[in-house]
Amino acid sequence: MSEAVLSVENLSLRYRVPGGTVAALRNVSLAVRQGEVLGIAGESGCGKSTLAAAMIDLMGANAEVTSGEVRLNGRDILALSPAERRRLRGREIAMVFQDPMTAFSPVLTVGAQLVDFQFNLDGVPGREKWVRARDMLARVGLSDPELAMGRFPHELSGGMRQRAAIAAALLMRPAVLIADEPTTALDVTMEAQIVHLLRELQADYRCAIVIVTHHLGVIAELCDRVAVMYAGVVVEEAPVDALYHDPRHPYTRALLACDPARIEAATGRLPAIGGRLPDLSNLPPGCAFAARCGIATDRCRATPPPCVALGPGRSALCHEVTP
């Protein structure tokens, strides 16, 4: 198997908040190889965006890494100087956010910004950057790319804006594209189109993609492997087919049971996993999922669960799972 392009090793991160800290990531280890699409799933508040931000070194000012490394092509990016980190961003790793307006300034045209995004391409004349930008807009499916170049971001529809944001990320030809809920703000049709586009682009550019989503349908469509997060830890990691056909962690099972795509339309109501996420400022001593888990024992409530290897690329963090 090829080397990991991006890997996270034993990463723990907390946020400082008034009166304490929030344990947003605890000993997270994950890797993504060239050409691979890794999905990160889990309910809201599980630490997915924190992990994505840590991967591209865009954590908030109150975030504190307490252990671990983020390795991009072998280098620990958290140990680099701020200038070195900025150089990597865009050139080797790029990010697409849920709200495409985050990627753009409202006061400049899309075209001017797509040209600026290529600041890392030393020696490429401005005219050529403009052509690259226009061609990339065509590639991501804007029907009149020349016209779109002259528009302001708010003059594009939500779906078109997200396509333009993806174009912006790809213009740097990054080795890794991180996408945090890139389809969550879109309607179902638009979501399907963006997923289709990402799949095509991945085939064309062979970049690694890390996609964060609470939508399991998106994961099934797009990903090779999935990491399921709960309360700041990866509770299960598996190839995508294995995860869907034979989920092992009780949390993964509960998530799949709530997936709207798997539920009879006739029930007309979305089930949710009973109970709530634990307080990340005051975690229980044992398994963080124990309070909501149907098979939890006293041991689960008292002792942190072990990581159980379940075969190639498969593991689950659970006392009750057996290999």
Ligand X SMILES: Nc1ncnc2c1ncn2[C@@H]1O[C@H](COP(=O)(O)OP(=O)(O)O)[C@@H](O)[C@H]1O
Tell which residue, 131, 133, 196, has the closest CA to residue 164.
Answer: 133
Q: Which of 24, 235, 240, 307 binds ligand X (CB under 6 A)?
A: 24
Min separation Cβ 41 and ligand X, Å: 9
Q: CB under 8 Å to 106, separation ≥6 — which residues?
A: 152, 153, 154
CA distance 4 to 104: 30
Min separation Cβ 277 and ligand X, Å: 7
Residues 109-148 that bind ligand X (CB under 6 A): none
The window from 14-22, 105-113, 115-123, 150-158 that contacts ligand X (CB under 6 A) reads 14-22
Could you give the dihedral angle defined by the CA atoms of residues 216, 98, 15 and 42, in that order, rounded to the nearest 10 degrees? 0
Please give the single-letter amino acid code of residue 103: A
Please give the single-letter amino acid code of residue 28: V
Residues 17-56 that bind Mg ion (CB under 5 A): 48-49
Q: Which of 4, 5, 11, 22 binds ligand X (CB under 6 A)?
A: 22
Looking at beta carbons only, is 60 or 312 nearer to ligand X? 60
The window from 37-45, 92-100, 171-179, 298-306 that contacts ligand X (CB under 6 A) reads 37-45
Provide the token pair at 93: 């790793």
The number of residues that bind ligand X (CB under 6 A) is: 15
Q: Select the binding partner of residue 233 from ligand X, Mg ion, none (C-beta < 5 to 8 A, by kind).
A: none
Q: Give the total residue count for the chain.
A: 323
Residues 248-287 that bind ligand X (CB under 6 A): 280
The yes or no reply on residue 62 touching ligand X (CB under 6 A) is yes
The yes or no reply on residue 47 touching ligand X (CB under 6 A) is yes
CA distance 8 to 323: 24
Backbone angle region of 268, left / alpha / beta, with phi > 0 → left and psi within -120 to 50 → alpha: left
Looking at beta carbons only, is 61 or 261 nearer to ligand X? 61
CA dist 204 to 145, 198, 200, 303, Å?
20, 10, 6, 46
Q: Which of 45, 217, 239, 304 binds ligand X (CB under 6 A)?
A: 45
Tell me which residues touch Mg ion (CB under 5 A): 48-49
Tell me which residues touch ligand X (CB under 6 A): 15, 17, 22, 24, 42, 44-50, 60, 62, 280
